[in-house]
Structure 1
Amino acid sequence: MKWGLLGGTFDPIHMGHLRCAEEIREIFELNRIVFIPASKSPHKLDAEITSFYHRAQMVRLAIEGNPSFSFSDVEHQRAGKSYSIETVEYFLNKYLKSIEIYFILGQDAFQAIQTWKEWQKLLLLCNFAVLTRPGYENMGLSGALPEEFSAQFTYDEKTSGYRGPTGHHIYFRKVTFLDISSSDIRSRVRHGKSITYLTPDPVRHYIQKNNLFQMD
């Protein structure tokens, strides 16, 4: 079984998230994509973030009807900050390594991977699927990782990925770039503008029903 793990604040989840997940599922022939909202993102501690309850409900609504998409509140179950290393270890321990994990993230996040908790260990625990996007030149591993660490990886022509010492790969894959951001959606809602076609209709209706992202 091959699972993709897609974390994020999802405030709110939008079509860009969903389309990227679908394309990565198809590219790597994954059996499942697990959407994992962060409870307390260590990189956004000072930001005003919608309650986990509402963000989780919106994710559930967005993926409803897609049998390949599922939801996990594992990061809300843990106290303290939401660290990806702990999330990956949770899934590996729960399923006794019977699943092959593909950790999905954008190239901008990968460029900042050295700011993540135990990033060296994390990169050796599972496969990484890095979504390339305009504005972030694909420089391979050298653009994000120290030379002494990246030297452990060898480019594999067969898989078009960088194979590490534990047998896991770091892949860079181009996906359809939808220039949609959660912050723009929130801004549009605050200013009374339409968000139709930016996020699934059930999510849009939920936002309206619960008066989310309104000005104070």
Structure 2
Amino acid sequence: MNDFPVSPVGVFGGTFDPVHYGHLRIAEEIAELVGLREMRFVPAGIPRLRRGPEASLEHRVEMVRRAIDGNSRFILDEREVVRGGVSYSVDTLRELRQELGKDIVLCFVTGADAFIRLAEWHRWRELFGLCHFIIAARPGHLLSAENRPSPAALPQELEEECRERWTSSAEILKYAPGGLIFTAQTTLLDISATAIRKRVASGKSIRYLVPESTRDYIAANDLYRE
């Protein structure tokens, strides 16, 4: 435990295929709620547990770069681009821990839908020694009365690992480098990258679902067309 509060660093990984207002609003509200000094967007190279992205990594990185431009707290972290190959969150967090120091507070942001599958992640138990988890509620993935995923929705080994880690206080996260789980109540925008890609493929508008910079980039590079 730290003797005094440390302003945390947020880590927001994803395919961002494409980045949209759902991503950006979650990042903004969590940064404000937790008092993050920065939120690092980490575009995934090749995700291990989901279908490969439709847009190339270079395109996805550029869309994120343009979408977060102008927000001084948002940072593009390209380490998974440089590393190449399959993306493992444990490697990214271990690198960040080595770079930023053992006492820095790292908060890994993930959706409730992804968190319930955490036990499928590579070396998942090690993650709790590297960071806190901040879970963002997602449309269609309801939280229990305790403001967390229902225990029944979690595999037994994950539920047992998490049982003593839940906290309802964002402030307490600042006093330990990692190991806790906090659920953030954020605005639920029912926007999905899959739906956006389908709209583009069918020639429908994606205005107001993504930043104008993203919309313009998709059109200029003819992305997601069938």
Query: Do both proteins adopt the same fold according to a TM-score greater than 0.5, normalized to the shorter chain?
Result: yes
Query: Contact 1:161/1:172 (CA < 8 Å) preserved in 2?
Result: no
Alignment match, 1:35: 41
- 1:83 matched to 2:88? The reply is yes
Alignment match, 1:107: 112
Alignment of 1:42-57 (within 5 A): 42-44=48-50, 46-57=51-62
- Aligned-pair distance for 1:169? 1.3
Alignment of 1:24-173 (within 5 A): 24-44=30-50, 46-139=51-144, 140=148, 142=151, 143-144=153-154, 146=157, 147-151=159-163, 153=164, 155-156=166-167, 168-173=179-184
- 1:210 matched to 2:215? The reply is no
> Secondary structure, in 3 states, of the residue corresponding to 2:86?
coil
> Secondary structure, in 3 states, of the residue corresponding to 2:47?
coil
CA-to-aligned-CA distance 1:46-105 (integer Å, 9 cap, x gap): 445211000000000000000000101111111321000001001000112353110000
Query: Contact 2:38/2:74 (CA < 8 Å) preserved in 1?
Result: yes
The 3 A distance-change label for structure 1 pair 121 and 41 is: same
Identity of aligned residues (%): 38
Tell me the distance in 2 between the aligned counterparts of 1:49 and 1:106: 21
> Secondary structure, in 3 states, of the residue corresponding to 2:109?
strand
> Secondary structure, in 3 states, of the residue corresponding to 1:208?
helix
Runs of 4 or more, structure 1, over 6 Å off, are none
Q: Which consecutive unaligned segments of at least 5 residues does structure 2 have? A: 1-6
Query: Contact 2:33/2:170 (CA < 8 Å) preserved in 1?
Result: no
Alignment match, 2:23: 17
> Secondary structure, in 3 states, of the residue corresponding to 1:21?
helix
Deviates further, 135-144 or 58-67: 135-144
> Secondary structure, in 3 states, of the residue corresponding to 1:203?
helix
RMSD across aligned C-alpha pairs, in angstroms?
2.2
Query: Contact 1:161/1:169 (CA < 8 Å) preserved in 2?
Result: no
Tell me the distance in 2 between the aligned counterparts of 1:88 and 1:199: 28
Question: How many equivalent pairs are there?
Answer: 211
Q: Which consecutive unaligned segments of at least 5 residues does structure 1 have? A: none
Which of 208, 217, 221 matches 1:197?
208
- Higher relative contact order, structure no. (Cα contacts within 8 Å, ≥ 6 residues apart): 2
Tell me the distance in 2 between the aligned counterparts of 1:10 and 1:133: 16
The 3 A distance-change label for structure 1 pair 203 and 93 is: same
Q: How does the TM-score come out when normalised to structure 1? A: 0.89
- Aligned-pair distance for 1:137? 3.2
- Aligned-pair distance for 1:133? 2.9
Name the aligned partner's letter for residue 9 of structure 1: T
Q: How does the TM-score come out when normalised to structure 2? A: 0.85
Tell me the distance in 1 between the aligned counterparts of 2:171 and 2:137: 14
